[in-house]
Structure 1
Amino acid sequence: MTEGVVRVGNSVRRPAKESSEFVAALLKVFEHQGFDGAPRYHGQADGMDILSYLPGDVPARFQLWTDEQVAAAGRLLRSMHDATRGSELAGRSQIVCHRDAAPNNAVFVDGLDGLPVAFIDFDGASPGSPLEDLGYACWTWCVASKRGDQVERQADQVRILADAYGLQGPERGVLVDAIIEQQARNARFWAELEASGTASAGPDAIAQSIAWSRRELAFVVVNREVFEAALA
């Protein structure tokens, strides 16, 4: 969704945005905390943010992932959250959320058969609750309404991701609610983007994104008991 991104040697140049200052500070926190699952920030030049290039593969679409890949995504998300816990950027919130910790923002080593080792594209990052990122991650890594005949398998992978993250206690009992909340939020995001008049996508693409988010939400609501049983 970001136009003008280019690779120059071992760096990636992205047009500076309003979020650039926060993203730069966040990437510096990651570096200070020794979290290697994100690009390094190397300043600005000619109106472009300069980031380190992370070798690997980024999937163009959501797809089926192995249990090992889903677990790796859960561990990566936990490490990212822990790196920001208690930081000045998190403020009064528990952590800084990525806000789009989906497979299409993950870097895989050894092709798409390998494991996710990093997240990219932190433009939407902001303080929040771990459950916000977890709900979105469980949806985008594990759940797909078009594979409705595999709901038990999807629920099992939601459990795998939650286990790998280390989610316990009362929060585990509301993870399905967090998934539903993120699906509703995604539909609202596209509607608000269209209303703002700043969307690069056309009306048809936005309408499809809203309809897809609503289908996904309805699928989880109908199968809530299956997902909750897997997490119990």
Structure 2
Amino acid sequence: MTSEYVLQDQPHRKVVRVGDTIRRPVQPWTPTVHALLRHLQAVGFPYSPRPLGYDEQGREVLTFIEGESGPRSWAKVVDDQGLSAFARLLREYHDATAGFSPPDEAAWADSVGGYGDEQVICHGDFGPWNVVWQGRHPVGIIDWDFARPAPRLHDVAYALQYVAPFRDDTECLRWLHFPESPDRRRRLERFCTAYGLATTVGIVDAVIDRQRQDIALVRRLASAGQEPQATWVREGLLDELGRRVDWSRANRRLFE
């Protein structure tokens, strides 16, 4: 019998590795996400896990992507090569969602309207921790729970929060693996260029707006009893997120 290795063990979610597969609890949106992952497989996008159905315990089964992710991924986006690769990966993913037709009864973690012409299927949580790396090269994207139809800028702004980053120097040096204070304006421009944006006009406003949206999302999910958001709110995360918005507004000169 193949052993299970616990990768994440939280009250709301236990994620385990079994051989070359990942087993995760099923959510209402899991069938929709599996449809998306099957589309990505069909169009030859190599960076997403492949859905393999469900196991005897009712958990979803996905292929395991070998490499470094989670906390170890933060250091990968500090240098220019890693930052650009991270941005190009996001663009390649967005382009790969073209032509995807969500199921008639599609469900998403964050309820949204229809799938419009100006939208792609955003990952919804495209941060360094959800990219798998082998050496200096990204090889996978994981944790698709917040995938949803939205404009491309929804993911771009979210990612820039963490890789520009929209954080003070103390956090950059202590937690985000920067050896010195980052040149945030240059990093924002490099990310946008690598992604393929023609201009950075309006990007700072988009990031601040996305930060505000994240606060509203956490509050909304917590009110519905969703975890881990309910626990985050009890532990004071909304205050921390509010301080991040305040910092971004007060320091926008660092990015423009």
One-letter amino acid of the structure 2 residue matched with residue 100 of structure 1: D
Question: How many Å separate the matches in 1 of 2:232 and 2:245?
Answer: 20
| 1:212 partnered with 2:240 | yes
One-letter amino acid of the structure 2 residue matched with residue 183 of structure 1: Q
1:148-227 map, 5 Å: 153-169=183-199, 172-200=200-228, 206-227=234-255
CA drift of 1:194 comes to 2.9
Question: How many Å separate the matches in 2 of 1:184 and 1:210?
Answer: 10
1:93-112 map, 5 Å: 93=117, 94-110=119-135
| 1:82 partnered with 2:87 | no
Q: Is residue 70–residue 142 contact of structure 1 (8 Å, CA) maintained in 2?
A: no
Equivalent of residue 55 in structure 2, options 45, 50, 55: 45
Structure 2, unmatched stretches of 5+, are: 1-9, 103-113, 173-179
Seen in structure 2, the aligned counterparts of structure 1 residues 198 and 91 have a Cα distance that, compared at 3 Å, is closer
Q: Is residue 187–residue 211 contact of structure 1 (8 Å, CA) maintained in 2?
A: no
Structure 1, unmatched stretches of 5+, are: none
One-letter amino acid of the structure 2 residue matched with residue 91 of structure 1: Y
CA drift of 1:146 comes to 2.7
CA drift of 1:43 comes to 1.4
**RMSD of Structure 2 on Structure 1 (CA):** 2.5
Q: Is residue 219–residue 233 contact of structure 2 (8 Å, CA) maintained in 1?
A: no
CA drift of 1:183 comes to 0.9
Question: How many Å separate the matches in 2 of 1:212 and 1:97?
Answer: 25
Query: Aligned pair count?
Result: 223
Q: Is residue 40–residue 97 contact of structure 2 (8 Å, CA) maintained in 1?
A: yes
CA drift of 1:177 comes to 1.6
Q: Is residue 190–residue 206 contact of structure 1 (8 Å, CA) maintained in 2?
A: no
Equivalent of residue 127 in structure 1, options 149, 157, 170: 149
One-letter amino acid of the structure 1 residue matched with residue 116 of structure 2: R
Q: Percent identity?
A: 30
Residue of structure 2 in register with 1:17 after alignment = 27
CA drift of 1:221 comes to 1.6
Question: How many Å separate the matches in 1 of 2:228 and 2:191?
Answer: 33
CA drift of 1:5 comes to 1.3
Residue of structure 2 in register with 1:91 after alignment = 115
CA drift of 1:204 comes to 6.5
Seen in structure 2, the aligned counterparts of structure 1 residues 73 and 11 have a Cα distance that, compared at 3 Å, is same
| 1:73 partnered with 2:98 | no
